[in-house]
């Protein structure tokens, strides 16, 4: 995963343009992708697909002709969606187009102006402070023109057509944790899920933030009911502990599964309530859709100083952290896939488990085996209202033990799924 992040890092992504296409091409080497191109001007819910933005070069040259800020050094240096500019102006006039982080004088901020035509440069405060007065050449060789918005899907077919949506944003330029790590974890998660046919169908969405999610929702409005559960993956690679942010519904099944898995694994972690801010859960959880989509990050949105700065670089993410995020996703979906509701077909009194070989013959011992207890719990709560996870939570038994007990009872014809 780290190698994938490294390859994607230098590209200049935005909500449209060739940077996104190049990124999806790399992901496509790991995973077959269905790439969608949606023309500029397409009405998508309350929004319109904007013009496509591409950029070839951009710099500020000082009075001596030295490139003091250069897009070639980092894609962060240009305000995203900058209109083209080619001018010479005194530093005083240039200043209103320069973005810095005074509190972190060596870091370059990440800034955009998608929906208001503007141009600008992002640079270190330290760089700015060193600039002498004088006439500066500024040049942004960008294009804003009718084109397309690009996003991609990958589907892992399951036993049922009900879907789990895994979404990650692909619009940020050279920021490693936000969200190259999320893209990498999603990519390897899709490969892992395909190892054997999962219960649910898993749909992976690689799309630019906000407008990409809105475009996907607009184009899938009639089919969105298939999405029963979902997870937005972002900031998946920093060294902080994991944070699960609930869906707007707060009690969706995914809101039970992730906290359960995180708690059962005894990892340090945090469970946060929904807020209508953050990543594309904002769109998936908008009240008209109100999907059961939560969000998994390590340190959450805007929760670290390096957020949206040049310090969110390749050193900021670690292979171990990404592997840990991936492991939790796999555990969570392994639980989700088995979290069925059963119905006890022999609900009057206990069925005689002993004659079915499910209960030990010797009576009187005080230490009931967990497997046996799990079967009694499954029988007790399989009234069509309780899921395997409900049984695990109420009994205090591990999910796997309960799921296996349910399997044994199902095999004996005592419960039906």
Q: Contact residues for its own copies (CB under 8 A)?
A: 45-47, 80, 109-116, 118, 210, 213-214, 217-218, 221, 248, 273, 275-277, 282-283, 285-289, 302, 307-308, 344, 346-352, 354-355, 361-368, 373, 376-377, 379-383, 394-395
Rounded Cα–Cα distance for residues 146 and 41 (Å): 8
131-156 as b/e: b if 16+ CB within 10 A: beeeebbbbbebebeebbbbbbbbeb
229, 236 Cβ separation under 8 angstroms: no
Closest separation between CB of residue 167 and its own copies, Å?
Answer: 13
Nearest to 143 by CA among 119, 170, 169: 119
Rounded Cα–Cα distance for residues 411 and 405 (Å): 10
Closest separation between CB of residue 295 and its own copies, Å?
Answer: 14
Closest separation between CB of residue 302 and its own copies, Å?
Answer: 4
According to DSSP, the β-strands at 415-416 and 341-344 are antiparallel
**What is the chain's Cα-based Rg?**
26
Instruction: Closer to its own copies by CB, 263 or 368: give it.
Output: 368
Rounded Cα–Cα distance for residues 411 and 210 (Å): 46
> What are the distances in angstroms from CA 114 to CA 86, 134, 328?
20, 30, 34
Instruction: Closer to its own copies by CB, 52 or 178: give it.
Output: 178
Nearest to 27 by CA among 207, 266, 178, 284: 207
Closest separation between CB of residue 41 and its own copies, Å?
Answer: 14
201, 157 Cβ separation under 8 angstroms: yes
Instruction: Closer to its own copies by CB, 275 or 318: give it.
Output: 275
Instruction: Closer to its own copies by CB, 315 or 367: give it.
Output: 367
Closest separation between CB of residue 303 and its own copies, Å?
Answer: 9
Residue that the structure tokens 């060193």 belong to? 130
280, 210 Cβ separation under 8 angstroms: yes
Closest separation between CB of residue 103 and its own copies, Å?
Answer: 12
Dig out the tokens for 180 from the structure: 């190259």
3-class SS of residue 80: strand
Closest separation between CB of residue 368 and its own copies, Å?
Answer: 6
Instruction: Closer to its own copies by CB, 265 or 372: give it.
Output: 372
189, 326 Cβ separation under 8 angstroms: yes
Instruction: Closer to its own copies by CB, 54 or 113: give it.
Output: 113
> What are the distances in angstroms from CA 324 to CA 166, 184, 297?
17, 13, 11
């Amino acid at each position: 995963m780290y190698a994938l992040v490294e390859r994607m890092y230098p590209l200049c992504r935005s909500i449209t343009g060739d940077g996104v296409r190049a990124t999806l091409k790399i992901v496509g080497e790991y995973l077959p992708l269905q790439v969608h191109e949606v023309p500029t001007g397409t009405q998508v819910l309350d929004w319109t697909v904007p013009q496509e933005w591409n950029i070839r070069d951009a710099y500020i040259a000082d009075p001596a002709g030295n490139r003091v800020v250069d897009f070639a050094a980092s894609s962060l240096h240009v305000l995203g969606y900058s209109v083209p500019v080619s001018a010479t102006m005194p530093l005083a006039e240039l200043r209103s187009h320069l973005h810095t982080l005074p509190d972190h004088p060596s870091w370059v901020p990440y800034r955009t102006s998608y929906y208001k035509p503007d141009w600008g440069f992002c640079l270190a405060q330290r760089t700015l402070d060193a600039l002498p007065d004088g006439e500066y050449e500024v040049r942004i060789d960008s294009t804003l023109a009718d084109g397309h918005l690009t996003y991609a899907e990958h589907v892992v077919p399951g036993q049922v057509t009900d879907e789990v949506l895994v979404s990650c944003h692909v619009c940020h330029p050279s920021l490693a944790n936000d969200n190259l790590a999320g893209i990498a974890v999603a990519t390897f998660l899709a490969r892992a899920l395909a190892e054997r046919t999962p219960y649910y169908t898993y749909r992976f969405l690689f799309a630019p933030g906000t407008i990409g999610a809105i475009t996907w929702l607009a184009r899938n409005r009639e089919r969105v009911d298939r999405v029963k559960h979902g997870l937005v993956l972002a900031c998946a690679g920093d060294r902080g502990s994991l944070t699960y942010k609930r869906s707007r519904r707060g009690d969706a099944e995914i809101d039970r599964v992730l906290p359960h898995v995180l708690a059962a694994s005894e990892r340090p972690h945090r469970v946060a309530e929904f807020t209508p801010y953050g990543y594309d859960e904002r769109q998936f959880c908008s009240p008209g859709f109100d999907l059961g989509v939560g969000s998994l990050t390590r340190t959450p949105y805007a929760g670290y100083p390096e957020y949206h700065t040049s310090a969110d670089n390749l050193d900021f993410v670690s292979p171990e952290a990404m592997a840990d995020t991936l492991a939790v996703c796999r555990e969570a979906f392994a639980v989700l896939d088995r979290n069925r509701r059963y119905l006890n077909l022999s609900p009057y009194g206990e069925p005689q488990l002993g004659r079915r070989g499910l209960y030990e013959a010797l009576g009187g011992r005080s230490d009931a085996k967990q497997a046996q207890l799990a079967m009694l719990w499954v029988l007790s709560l399989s009234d069509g209202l309780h899921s395997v996870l409900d049984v695990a939570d109420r009994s205090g038994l591990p999910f796997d033990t309960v799921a296996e007990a349910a399997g044994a009872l199902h095999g004996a014809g005592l419960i039906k799924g």
